[in-house]
Amino acid sequence: MTVTNLDTGASITCTVDDRGPYSGDEKVLDLHRDEFSRLAPLEQGIFHARLDW
């Protein structure tokens, strides 16, 4: 899948290893720290993204 940070335009291609129940909020994906850091500062924690399968 390709994950694109909508604020910066940065994108990565990654593999989905697992899915989890993210009910009750808008979170739909949990990235590995290394992948997240390529898209946004770790301290940011979350960002708006586009997911392309």
What is residue 29's predicted lDDT score, i.e. its pLDDT? 86
Cα R_g (the chain), whole angstroms: 11
Please determine, for residue 21, whether its predicted confidence score (pLDDT) is greater than 80. Answer: no
What is residue 47's predicted lDDT score, i.e. its pLDDT? 95
**Domain residue spans of the chain:** 2-52
Average pLDDT (3-22) is: 90
What kind and span of H or E run contains 26?
none
* Tokens matching residue 25: 């909020």
Please determine, for residue 23, whether its predicted confidence score (pLDDT) is greater than 90. Answer: no
What is residue 22's predicted lDDT score, i.e. its pLDDT? 66
Q: What is the mean pLDDT of the chain?
A: 90
What is residue 28's predicted lDDT score, i.e. its pLDDT? 82
Handedness of CA 17, 23, 28, 31 (dihedral sign): negative
